[in-house]
């Protein structure tokens, strides 16, 4: 570090960041010369918690590793259990898992496109994409009852079937989304402001992407032709036709192009799944206790390769559950992408890997910091605690509550 260089800490709480993570940047003027990353602020102890609960309970816990890729983590986890137990999951269930997976990818990529627009001051794009994202969120809610955390999976299959009427709704929505996506492709590839703002920013050359272990759209935008759906097929992907999108721009612009073109592939997959989905049962009976064994499961989540390792010991609880979320592989390339770049590029470069630090850090238990005792608060208790806390700070809404007849006051 030269005498006229200086360091700027960014995070763990910072307006440029969407989740808690911490970066220490060494600056030479406006340029970043080096950077260190500190993660772990979202560590919640999920892997440890999995060992103390049954496989069925763990599905719901694992689903909450991430709010956006909930189906990705649950499917990846369940595939490992099914492999150990030797379960032949019905084909229809595999098709339904694939359908939800692609709908999840559509919602995730549209969400990303909006965030990317926002980070470069193009909030119109944010408003448009998030409006259109509601179309796919409605479909997910129609099929599963929830906008996120769909709980479609169970060991041995899926929990809900798809009806003929739902198929029609999905097809209609897919047509709408496809038409809108074509417009975004046009914007991403023709709009001068976007091209100029994103080109050459956050460069990651092919060799560096391979060497540093980048995954997903981040790697594919550097020309790395890898996609677990094709390379290590799971669910129904082995029977479907789709292209793996790559791009040679190696910058944030390339990452945007890969994601919008991947949306088109997702629509293609969704239509194939609906056309080819076989009739039949959606689940097979699974044993409560899983025989001793181990399995490694891989899954192409919207952000890249998700990896789960499960070891079973013959009981109804796993011996070990290991999660490697895609962002942990990608966050390490951010430092490389930002070297010798301007500080102003930092938000979009970080956003361009579509980071999810909640996934990366995983797992907690609530404990009283004074007594050390476990303390799970009920909703009313938490509410009274909050009211009391604010009252101590001199903020008291009790009169207003009475005036407006708020229940419980």
Taking CB under 8 A as the rule, does residue 228 contact other proteins? Answer: yes
Q: Which of 25, 286, 328, 352 binds other proteins (CB under 8 A)?
A: 328
E strand map for 233-277: none
Considering only residues 18, 26, 31, 37, which one is a binding residue for other proteins as defined by CB under 8 A?
37
| Binding piece for other proteins, criterion CB under 8 A, among 30-38, 59-67, 88-96, 167-175 | 30-38
Q: Do 221 and 255 meet the contact criterion of CB atoms below 8 Å apart?
A: yes
Shortest distance in whole angstroms from residue 43 CB to other proteins = 4
Instruction: Give strand pairing partners of 323.
Output: 308
Q: Is residue 367 within the footprint of other proteins (CB under 8 A)?
A: yes
Q: How far is the CB of 336 from other proteins (least distance, A)?
A: 9
Do residues 31 and 341 touch, judged by C-beta distance below 8 A?
yes
Based on the shown chain and the rule CB under 8 A, indicate whether residue 332 belongs to the binding site for other proteins.
yes
| Window of 148-156, 173-181, 211-219, 247-255 that interacts with other proteins by CB under 8 A | 211-219
Binding footprint of other proteins, residue count (CB under 8 A): 44
Provide the 3-class DSSP secondary structure of residue 23: strand
Decide if residue 197 touches other proteins (CB under 8 A): no
* N-term to C-term CA, the chain: 60
239 near other proteins, judged by CB under 8 A: no
309 DSSP β-pair partners: 296, 322
Residue 370 sits in the site that holds other proteins (CB under 8 A): yes
Residue 339 makes contact with other proteins by CB under 8 A: no
User: Residue 207 class from Cβ within 10 Å (0-12 exposed, 13-18 middle, 19+ buried)?
Assistant: exposed
Residues 268-307 close enough to bind other proteins by CB under 8 A:
294-296, 298, 305, 307
Selected from 329, 338, 351, 353, the binder of other proteins by CB under 8 A is 329
Q: Which is nearer to other proteins, 41 or 60 (CB)?
A: 41
How near is the Cβ of 49 to other proteins at its closest, in Å? 10
Stretch 79-108 residues interacting with other proteins (CB under 8 A): 83
Locate 240 and state its tokens: 């479907």
Structure tokens at 204: 């990651």
> What residues form DSSP beta bridges with 31?
28, 342
CA quadruple 159, 105, 210, 257: dihedral, nearest 10 = 170
Distance CA 184, CA 178 (A): 10
Cis-peptide into 268, omega within 30 deg: no
Q: Which two tokens stand for residue 106?
A: 């559509």
Phi-psi region of 149 (alpha: psi -120 to 50; beta: other; left: phi over 0): left
CB of 222 to other proteins, least distance (A): 15
CB of 304 to other proteins, least distance (A): 11
Cβ distance to other proteins smaller for residue 328 or 348: 328
Site track for other proteins across 45-84, x = CB under 8 A: x-xx----------------------------------x-
**Nearer to other proteins by C-beta: 213 or 278?**
213
Label residue 190 exposed, middle or buried (CB < 10 Å: 0-12, 13-18, 19+): exposed
Q: What are the E-state strand segments in 272-393?
A: 293-301, 304-312, 318-324
By CB under 8 A, name the one of 210, 274, 284, 343 that touches other proteins: 210
Give the contacts of 100 (CB within 8 A, at least 6 positions apart). Answer: 71, 140, 143, 144, 150, 152
Q: How far is the CB of 5 from other proteins (least distance, A)?
A: 19
CB of 285 to other proteins, least distance (A): 22
Residue 48 beta carbon to other proteins: minimum distance, rounded to whole angstroms: 6
- CA proximity to 94, closest of 162, 31, 18: 162
Binder among 131, 182, 248, 320 for other proteins (CB under 8 A): 320
Binding site residues, other proteins, CB under 8 A: 36-40, 43, 45, 47-48, 83, 210-213, 226, 228, 231-233, 294-296, 298, 305, 307, 309, 311, 319-320, 322, 324, 328-329, 331-332, 361-362, 365, 367-370, 372, 374
């Amino acid at each position: 570090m030269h005498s006229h260089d200086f360091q700027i800490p960014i995070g763990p709480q910072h307006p440029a960041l969407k989740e808690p993570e911490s970066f220490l940047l060494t600056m030479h003027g406006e340029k970043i010369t080096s950077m260190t990353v500190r993660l772990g602020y979202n560590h919640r102890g999920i892997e440890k918690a999995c060992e103390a609960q049954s496989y069925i309970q763990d599905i719901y816990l694992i689903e909450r590793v991430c709010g956006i890729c909930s189906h990705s983590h649950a499917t990846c986890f369940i595939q490992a259990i099914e492999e150990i137990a030797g379960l032949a999951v019905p084909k229809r269930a595999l098709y339904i898992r694939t359908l939800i997976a692609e709908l999840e990818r559509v919602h995730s990529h549209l969400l990303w496109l909006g965030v990317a627009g926002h980070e470069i001051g193009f909030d119109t794009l944010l408003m448009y994409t998030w409006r259109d994202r509601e179309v796919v969120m409605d479909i997910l809610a129609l099929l599963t009852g929830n906008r996120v955390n769909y709980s479609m999976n169970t060991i041995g299959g899926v929990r809900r079937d798809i009806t003929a009427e739902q198929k029609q709704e999905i097809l209609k929505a897919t047509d709408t989304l496809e038409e809108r996506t074509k417009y975004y492709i046009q914007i991403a590839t023709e709009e001068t402001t976007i091209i100029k703002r994103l080109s050459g920013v956050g460069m990651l050359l092919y060799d560096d992407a391979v060497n540093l272990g980048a995954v997903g759209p981040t790697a594919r935008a550097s020309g790395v032709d890898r996609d677990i759906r094709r390379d290590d097929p799971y669910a129904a992907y082995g029977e479907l036709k789709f292209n793996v999108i790559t791009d040679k721009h190696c910058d944030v612009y390339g990452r945007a192009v890969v994601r919008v073109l991947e949306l088109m592939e997702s629509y293609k997959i969704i239509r194939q799944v609906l056309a080819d989905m076989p009739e039949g049962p959606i689940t097979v009976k699974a044993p409560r206790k899983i025989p001793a064994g181990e399995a490694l499961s891989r899954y192409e989540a919207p952000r890249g390769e998700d990896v789960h390792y499960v070891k079973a010991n013959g009981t109804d609880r796993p011996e070990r559950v290991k999660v490697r979320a895609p962002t942990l592989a990608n966050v390490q390339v951010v430092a490389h992408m930002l070297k010798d770049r301007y500080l102003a590029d930092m938000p979009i470069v970080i956003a361009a890997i579509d980071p999810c630090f909640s996934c990366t850090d995983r797992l907690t238990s609530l404990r009283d910091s004074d007594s050390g005792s476990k303390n799970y608060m009920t909703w009313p208790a938490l509410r009274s605690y909050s009211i009391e806390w604010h009252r101590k700070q001199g903020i008291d809404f009790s009169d207003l509550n009475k005036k407006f007849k708020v229940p419980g006051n």
